[in-house]
Copies of this chain bind each other. A is one copy, B any other.
Amino acid sequence: MPNPLLRYNPRRLLLVADLAGTLIFGIEGATAAVSGNLDFLGIMVLAFSTALVGGIIRDLLIGAVPPASLRDWRYPATAFTGGLIVFFLYRFLLRIPPNVMIDLDAMGLALFAVAGTEKALEYELSPFIAVLLGTITAVGGGTIRDIFLAQVPRVLNSDVYATAALVGATVLVACRKAKVPPIWAAILGGAVCFLVRVIAVSHHWNLPKAVSP
């Protein structure tokens, strides 16, 4: 009898990855709101946007409307839970070491990159587009958060952020092409995304800039 953890159910995998990423990104968005001195509602709006806008953009682009996060109350509820955690426990969150936050963020990035790519494949989009959509899902929420805070989105100038999502999504798609079992393709893609991001931060990796005169 196979290990039940390894029995692959794409919809359920998608849901679990999506909800876990939603909680992490909800907490992150809410933390950014508190740093920006916003009030309770600002915290909730940023938790919602950071957690769900990436997936909403993905669903709009593939024509899956209403988006999963509006059809299924568990998505907004999870994002708002992230906001409430920050609202009530901000003083404890401050004690979390920065590198734990970076790991959590990398985890959210990996989960959303996997979920976004999986859903694009499920809608039978081409591999190239699936990789793009996985990346957009992963970085969309953080981009909206930064736009809301009137900042240049991190995705544009943070070294190796979207790149990690892109690499992870590519690994997932490549594994699926190579007939790797879907559950392993997802785990591998997510792990690569997570590791690329975490190692890039700890080693201060930089992407090259344009060849200037």
Chain B residues, CB < 8 A from A67: 61
The answer to the question of A94 belonging to the interface, with a C-beta cut-off of 8 Å to chain B, is yes
Q: Which of B43, B73, B126, B156 contacts A128 (CB 8 A)?
A: B73
- B45 and A155 within 8 A (CB): yes
Does A181 interact with chain B (Cβ within 8 Å)?
no
Q: Number of A interface residues at 8 Å Cβ cutoff, please give it.
A: 62
Question: A19 at interface (Cβ–Cβ under 8 A)?
Answer: no
A78 and B128 CA atoms in complex are apart in Å by: 13
Q: A39-B209, A70-B125 are in contact. List 7 more A-B contacts (CB 8 A).
A: A33-B156, A41-B156, A41-B161, A70-B132, A73-B126, A86-B210, A89-B211
Q: Give the B-binding residues of A (Cβ under 8 A).
A: 33-34, 36-43, 45-46, 56, 60-63, 65-67, 70-71, 73, 76, 86-91, 94, 123, 125-126, 128-129, 132-133, 143, 147-153, 155-157, 159-163, 206-213
